[in-house]
Amino acid sequence: MTIWHKEISQSVDSVVDNPDIAALYRLWHELAGATQGLPPREAFSLKGPMARLVPHMMVLECDGEDFLYSHYGSEIQRHSQFDMTGRRVSEFGGELADFFGTCYRRVLAQRQPLYTVHCSDRAKSVFTWERLILPLQGKDGRLCLKVYNRPLESRAQMLEVVLESSSDALLVLRAVPQASGPPEWLVVLANERFARLAGSTAGTQGTSGHLVSEVFPDWASLGFESDCYAVLNSGRQTREREMRRVVNGAERWYALRVGPAPDGCVVRLADVTALKLHELELEAKALQLQADNAELARWAKLDGLTGLANRRTLDAFLAMELQRTQRHPSPLTVVLCDIDFFKPYNDLHGHLQGDDCIRAVAKRLALAAHRPTDLAARFGGEEFVLVLPHTPLRGAMEVVENLRKALDQQPLPHGASHVSPRITLSFGVAELLTPEAVSPAQLLKLADDALYQAKHQGRDRVVALRWH
């Protein structure tokens, strides 16, 4: 049998909370002990002292294997919304008829009272019923049953338990039309979580049947009244969104869901703060990772000692500029320079000071290639490259002269140079004027040839060549 129920047949009065059941159970045992058998039916007459129990009592007459209801209390009728007076138990049909019949037959067979609690599948307002079944005997010897029957748990009580045990803030509203303007909202029910969120200090007591703005001080600041109107006007459409609110000085996030209800709406606020904080943490980590990756990508393009572009970046940039000159002809000049007598400098001053010297020269090169389209790169060792797009030879020579002046104005001592007591550079300049299919290696080779001539001519000078 699938109907949920539980039964007690011994010491019922010690385990039930209902005083009427306990009193009936004790009276039955007193009379049973006095008569050495079943108590007389007349002792449980529904008149006199027991008249107040009439609305909760059922009387069943034995009818073979079946039972006939000769009395069906008014309260039982009210909750179940039907009257079984004059009808048999079997007419219930289905599992209820089997369940009731089994209980009644067992009570008669054992000649002992039985207390049962069973789940209701018929009464809309009752969740569980409690019953005390008493076997009795009439003056004519015929057996009968008198049953005390009362709701133990109403569905409204169970709904309240569900509402209060929910981790969400819940509110049911009904729209009250106004003569002019939008309707006002009447509270049908609300749980404690919503009351606290809406600023009520008295909880939910006395809120049902009142305007929501009257019983919840923070109703307007919650900011979802427009969602309620939207659901009301759209018929059956549900609205969902995320909202933020400061509660007790702390920032909280809620998932708001407003759904339709008869003449109103149902509001549910689920606290998703933990989830939101985790989401924000993941977003922050993702942004940091993105920034770290961007930084790594940037550093992957730079020379570690000088901060100038590295050789890979130089090759890619120069190849791109050569392709551009073929699509849109314009001059392109490459400057290759070398620190004069750098090995003797290292031998005299040490490698650490040599690194400082390379960094100082690189800084001046970066200042010289100041246009956004220019590129300053470390070619390797003490060699550097300037790539100057849209620049003819004359403009490149100006850049080189400005760089040489910067070295003169802020000289770097060189105790092992054969041409000057300060750091000097030799320059090889290669100019490409025509949009020919020249490779980066070819143009760099031309600049290297020019640099070789500058060194061969005595260093600390500039030699320029044009691509032919």
Q: Which of 4, 214, 9 is nearest to 128 (CA)?
A: 4
Q: Which tens digit of pLDDT belongs to each residue from 64-78? A: 899 999 999 999 999
Sketch the domain layout of the chain as residue ranges: 5-154, 166-275, 311-466
Residue 3: its pLDDT value, please? 77
Beta bridge partners of 240: 257
pLDDT tens digits, residue range 371-406?
999 999 999 999 999 999 999 999 999 999 999 999
Decide if pLDDT at 436 tops 90.
no
151-207 per-position pLDDT tens digit = 988 877 777 777 888 889 999 999 988 888 889 999 988 999 999 999 888 888 778
**Architecture of the domain defined by 166-275:** 2-Layer Sandwich (3.30)
Q: Specify whether domain 311-466 bears CATH 3.40.640.10.
A: no
3-state secondary structure 113-137: CEEEEEECCCCCCEEEEEEEEEEEE
Which amino acid, 235? Answer: G
**Which pLDDT value is given to residue 156?**
74
Give the span between the Cα atoms of 201 and 183, in whole angstroms. Answer: 26
Annotated catalytic residue 382: yes
Provide the pLDDT for residue 377. 95
d(CA 332, CA 388): 6
Domain 5-154 in CATH 3.40.605.10? The answer is no
pLDDT one-digit tens code per residue, 211-220: 999 999 999 9
**In angstroms, rounded to a whole number, what is the distance separating the alpha carbons of residues 188 and 194?**
13
Q: Which residues, at least 6 apart from 269, have a Cβ–Cβ distance to it below 8 Å?
A: 168, 169, 170, 193, 194, 197, 243, 254, 255, 256
Q: pLDDT for 79-111, tens place per residue?
A: 988 999 999 999 988 888 899 999 999 999 999
Q: Which of 130, 382, 383, 431 is catalytic?
A: 382
Write the DSSP assignment of 339-362 as a string of letters.
ETTHHHHHHHH-HHHHHHHHHHHH
Nearest to 447 by CA among 400, 389, 395, 386: 386
Task: Pick the closest to residue 460 from 395, 415, 389, 408 (CA basis).
Answer: 408
Average pLDDT over the chain reads: 91
Query: Percent of the chain having pLDDT more than 90?
Result: 70
- Per-residue pLDDT at 1 exceeds 60: no
Give the pLDDT confidence score for residue 200 in this predicted structure: 87
Same fold, 5-154 and 311-466: no
